[in-house]
Amino acid sequence: MNLQLSKLQGFKASNILKVSTFLLVFLIGFSFNADAQKKKPRSSKDKVEDYFDEGGFGSHRLWYGGGVGLNFGGGGNSSQFNFSISPMVGYKLTDKFSVGPRAELDYVHARFATSNTTSDKYNIFNYAIGGFARYKVFNPFFIHAEYQIESRADPIGNGETRRGSRDNFFVGGGYGSSGGLIGYEISILWNVLEDGSVNIPLDYRIAFTYNF
């Protein structure tokens, strides 16, 4: 219960407002795209049919992606196991430009030896949520911008952690396979809000996509 409460406290009201603002912008763009498809007055039946056709507003404009990470490490007096997932959903405002939400969930099990017979163990959940915008410069390359709110717990000793939240803003680009519904992508992003004093500001991502 304490872990769940600390997770909820990691998200400040100001961060929730930022995500809400992004979603509002997304919905406005969504509605503008739908309005742009209306070229002339149509009957109610025609509007319903056009709602889902390949030239207008509909689920065919959605694409999906997600990455999975698995890592083992250790050395000296420590060991670590890491598992992560990062789902995302995009909506194609045009054939080249899309926007949508992206989330990350990261589980870390770490052990640090404190003596020959004792050790500190940590089970940590880090998570993040945000929104992205992506533009296909030319197939198969794209540029990507993403704002993210991250909640992270750091070990402080004796199996205890301290949770805090931070803002990330990633810019960069990547390569995505083309030619079918199911593909993959590789991207390199720079976190412009990271000064590099603690963490490397580069984020390397590998993910699978559907209908991108």
The CATH code of domain 2-210 reads 2.40.160.20
Helix and strand tally (H, E) in the chain?
A: 3, 8
- How many angstroms separate the CA atoms of 202 and 195, rounded? 11
- How many angstroms separate the CA atoms of 78 and 103, rounded? 29
| 3-51 residue pLDDT tens | 444 444 444 445 545 555 554 455 445 444 544 444 445 555 555 455 4
Asked whether 193 and 165 are in contact (CB, 8 A), the reply is no
Arithmetic mean of pLDDT, 51-71: 78
| 129-182 residue pLDDT tens | 999 999 999 888 999 999 999 999 988 888 788 999 999 999 999 999 876 789
The larger pLDDT score, comparing residue 16 to residue 105, is at: 105
- How many angstroms separate the CA atoms of 84 and 70, rounded? 7
- Its sign, for the CA torsion 186, 67, 198, 112, is negative
| 177-201 residue pLDDT tens | 876 789 999 999 999 998 877 678 9
Q: Residue ranges of the domains in the chain?
A: 2-210
- How many angstroms separate the CA atoms of 195 and 204, rounded? 17
- What is the separation, in whole angstroms, between the first and last Cα of the chain? 39
pLDDT at 56: 62
For tokens 């004792």, what's the residue? 118
> 3-state DSSP call for residue 147?
strand
- How many angstroms separate the CA atoms of 135 and 9, rounded? 34
Asked whether 154 and 165 are in contact (CB, 8 A), the reply is no
Give 120's contacts (C-beta < 8 A, 6+ positions apart). Answer: 111, 112, 114, 155, 157, 158, 159
Name the CA dihedral angle for 176, 83, 18, 170, rounded to a multiple of 10 degrees: -40
